[in-house]
Structure 1
Amino acid sequence: MTVYYQSLSPHEFSVLCPSLVDVYIKAMGYDPAMKNSRITAWRAAVMEKNFHAVLAHNNTHILGVAYGYLGRPEHWWDREVRRALRLQGGASPRQLNILSQYFSVTEIHVSPQAQGKGIGTQLLSSLIAKSQSEHILLSTPEVAGEDNGAFRLYRRFGFEDFVRQMLFAGDERPFAILHATASSCP
Structure 2
Amino acid sequence: MRDVLVVWTPEQLAIRADEAIDVLAEAMGYGSAMREVSRRQLIEHLTMPGFRAVAILGPLADIVGFGYGYRCRPGQWWRDWVAGAMPVVADRRRWLDAACTVSELQVRPACQGRGLGEAMLRDLLSSAESRTAVLSTAETTDGRSRAWRLYRRMGFRDLRRGLRYPGDPRPYAVLGRELPWRDGSVGAHGGSRCVAGIEEVAQC
Same fold (TM > 0.5)? yes
* Corresponding residue of 1:76: 77
| Matched-pair contact (CA < 8 Å) for 1:52–1:130 | no
The residue identity in structure 1 corresponding to 2:84 is R
* Corresponding residue of 1:17: 17
Q: How far did residue 18 of structure 1 move? A: 0.4
Do structure 1's residue 54 and structure 2's residue 51 form an aligned pair?
A: no
Distance 2:96 2:36 in 1: 30
* Corresponding residue of 2:8: 8
Distance 1:128 1:54 in 2: 11
Question: Does 1 or 2 have the higher relative contact order (CA < 8 Å, sep 6+)?
Answer: 2
* Corresponding residue of 1:138: 135
Aligned residue pair count: 182
Do structure 1's residue 42 and structure 2's residue 68 form an aligned pair?
A: no
The residue identity in structure 1 corresponding to 2:90 is P
Matches within 5 A, 1:135-174: 135-174=132-171
Identity in percent: 31
In structure 2, list runs of 5 or more residues that go unmatched: 184-204
1:113-159 Cα offsets, whole Å, 9 max, x none, are: 00000000001001112221120000000001211000000001100
Distance 1:128 1:82 in 2: 21
Distance 2:35 2:182 in 1: 32
Distance 2:179 2:47 in 1: 23
1:33-80 Cα offsets, whole Å, 9 max, x none, are: 333332222122121111000000113221100001001111110111
The residue identity in structure 2 corresponding to 1:152 is R
Structure 1 pair 184–10 and aligned structure 2 pair: CA distance change class (3 A)? closer
| Matched-pair contact (CA < 8 Å) for 1:157–1:184 | no
* Corresponding residue of 1:31: 31
Q: How far did residue 92 of structure 1 move? A: 5.0
- Write 1 or 2 for the structure with the bigger share of helix: 1
In structure 1, list runs of 5 or more residues that go unmatched: none
1:8-33 Cα offsets, whole Å, 9 max, x none, are: 11111001100001111111111123
| Matched-pair contact (CA < 8 Å) for 1:52–1:68 | yes
Distance 2:181 2:5 in 1: 23
SS of equivalent residue, structure 1 residue 144: coil
